[in-house]
Amino acid sequence: MKTDSLTSNSSIGLKGLDLAETEAWAQSQGLPAYRGRQIRRWIFTKGAHSFEQMTDLPKTLRQTLAKSVTLNHLETVDILKSRDGTKKFIFRLHDGLLIESVLIPERDHLTLCISSQVGCAIGCRFCLTGARGLKRNLSTAEIVDQVVQVRSTLPEPEHLKNIVLMGMGEPLANYHNVIKALGNLTREDGMNFSNRRVTLSTSGLVPEMEKLGQDITVNLAVSLNATDDKTRSFLMPINDRYPIAALIQACKAFPLPNRRMITFEYILIKGINDSLEDAQRLVKLLKGLRAKVNLIPFNPHPGVDFRPSPMERILQFQEVLTGDYLTAIIRKSKGPDIMAACGQLGGSSNRGIQ
């Protein structure tokens, strides 16, 4: 075995490699390819956090790997628990920056919301993460490790069913690393999550949306939040580059497996985008699309004067949509008391992204 080459690979991100790359890495260390498959199975299927746990590897190999290769890429700084059972995991990266992931309890399963960037460059006015700016993209290993680390804390890991890329950052702005991460999350030789239960949310990067539909099958969620270009550009500057007409056209062209729909996220802000006229325009925009709408009351955070729409108005808005046979669900925010709700991430980890 080539122990000399092993000593030069301390920063290798094994959780970011696909199967072929893991086999090639093993061979580059003078090992047979099947050792790479064994290590990959231990990481993704059995949740091993150290090489010492990989008991079907020779002891000398485990010791050599432990000295030369870093397996974990995230350090858990804190776990905050909300009154509603939501948990926010604050992770430190190798360079000291912090990211956040949110574990959300549902009726019969768990959903994990993960991050794709440290901060965000999109600059949506309603989002705390965007107000702090972008520091850097996450590596593939850092994206995947959020799922590995959180799952390892669960007494019944099989209850974690859904993965949503709705945390810090714009996933499609970190396209290459996100696509590789999605592969490791959904492939049988990876973590084997059903692609029906993995959702990527975007602010509307149209060219990347077109590529996404060709490169991998996952659910698509689009953060829409307005029904006219003036309002959407005010809330989401990305609309100046990809206005509503172009975004809707990209959604119409997005390949959808049978019975799947695109989810449109609509954050309701009092006096900004919550009029009944907005609801009527939304119905017209989505006509002909296999679509459903998540209505999300705005979650307040420091530095923003917006207020959530009153529940009476939200119900009226929903009634307009459902009256035209459009599926519209009011999403109750989870974890607002720990700054874990939609648009609040970064509030507990500002030491890392200021």
Q: Which domains are delineated in the chain?
A: 3-68 (1.10.150.530), 75-353 (3.20.20.70)
> Greater confidence, 191 or 339?
191
- Output the pLDDT for position 80: 96
Among 5-14, 162-171, 200-209, 297-306, name the one with the lowest average pLDDT: 5-14
Positive/negative CA dihedral, 257, 261, 267, 273: positive
On the question of pLDDT at 324 being above 50, the answer is: yes
On the question of pLDDT at 281 being above 50, the answer is: yes
For 108-142, what is each residue's pLDDT tens digit? 999 999 999 999 999 999 998 888 899 999 999 99
Catalytic residues: 100, 342
**What are the residue ranges of helices labelled H in 7-53?**
19-28, 33-44
Average pLDDT over residues 48-55: 93
**Residue 164 pLDDT grade (very low, low, confident, very high; cuts 50, 70, 90):** very high
Contact of 270 with 314, CB cutoff 8 Å = no
Among 37-41, 47-51, 344-348, name the one with the lowest average pLDDT: 344-348
On the question of pLDDT at 209 being above 80, the answer is: yes
> Greater confidence, 5 or 119?
119
Is 0.85 topped by the overall pTM?
yes
* CA distance linking residue 236 with residue 343, whole number of Å: 13
Ranges of beta strands (E only) in 72-144 are 75-81, 87-92, 98-105, 110-113, 117-119, 134-137
**94-99 contacts at long range (C-beta below 8 A, 24 or more positions apart):** 96/352, 97/135, 97/136, 97/352, 97/353, 98/349, 98/351, 98/352, 98/353, 99/74, 99/138, 99/142, 99/146, 99/167, 99/168, 99/349, 99/352
Average pLDDT score, the chain: 92
